[in-house]
Amino acid sequence: MCAPGEGAGILLTNLPPKGWMSYEALSKKRADLIMMRLTGNFDGSPAVDYTVNCSSGFSIATGADHAPVNHVLPVWDVAAGLYLSTGLLAAERVRSREGRGQEVTLALSDVMLATVGNLGYIGDVQVNGVSREPIGNHLYGAFGRNFASADGREVMVAAISNRQWKALARATGLAERFEMIGPLMDVDLHTEGGRFHARHAIAAVLEPWFAARTVVEIGERFDGSGVLWGVHRDFRQLVEEDRRCSTDNPMFAQVDQPGVGRVLTPRVPLSFMNTPAPLPSVAPTLGDDTDSVLERILGLTREEISRLSDRGIVGQK
């Protein structure tokens, strides 16, 4: 990590900045060190995704009542990972231009708070004096909801723009019935807000249409029609049914994972015009890269690495 070279001198850690792990201590060995440190809260106190999410407002706004929902997606961990990679790239860009390193810190709770603020929920409370209420599976601010099909599946439909709304009305053949809702409820269904206000009435018209058709039949009506729709799937159904989650998608490949067998594996989802996308790779086991890092980056000899291994300092336990 402290070895010379353009590709070195970068450290990502979630350990406290104490003793030899502090930026001050490590930067003495390499002045242009980039150190990215993840904390739980801005004051350095600990937190994890679920203890952060419970304070975000989303666990209360999810669902149909005020009972909190601990969703299974560790969204703040995922978002923090993206911020960490962006922060490292930004710091490395500064170093490549100006030759100086720096310490960059990111608090998991700040990732949550920035997102809540950027989405307007903090402003909604301060400006409008309101807090978003739980509305079940309805799409907030427009029309969207899940519907049960004849074969026991759940289909999600959304109509945000007027074009999508007209496409839904055309594909279902329910345009005339939809037109009756506006005057009855005194709302304009050509607006997102109008459709949101009338969401229960719209859903009541759509429910029997979906209940009379299988997912395949619904797909025959919706595919290519301009309707925004999708099928709710569990993880098995995703793998077995969704063409996007297969080698038809160039992001995926079958990888021979040692000790496991062939596994459908994604690569980085970015695709660059002039840079070949990296192929999906085998997941390394703990310690696979230790010798390479010690030898290639830190410049240790094979003998030195062997002595460290014999003493139990490096290597797998």
d(CA 84, CA 38): 8
d(CA 18, CA 42): 17
Respond yes or no: is residue 110 known to be catalytic.
no
SS3 at position 207 = helix
Residue 240: phi, psi to the nearest 5?
A: -90, -20
Find the length of the chain. 317
Sequence-distant (≥ 6) Cβ neighbours of residue 140 within 8 angstroms: 132, 196
Q: What does the angle CA 58 – CA 42 – CA 125 come to, to the nearest 5 degrees?
A: 35
Nearest of 164, 233, 230, 150 to residue 202 by alpha carbon: 164
d(CA 166, CA 173): 10
d(CA 101, CA 127): 40
Please report the DSSP string for 94-162 in residue order: HHHHH---EEEEEEHHHHHHHHHHHTTHHHIIIII---PPP-TTSPTTSEEEEEE-TTS-EEEEEE-SH
Instruction: From residue 80, give the alpha-carbon distance in Å to each of 49, 69, 113, 117.
Output: 10, 21, 12, 16
d(CA 16, CA 105): 11
d(CA 126, CA 9): 44
d(CA 263, CA 239): 11
Catalytic-labelled residue, pool 43, 65, 77, 242: 77
Catalytic residues: 77
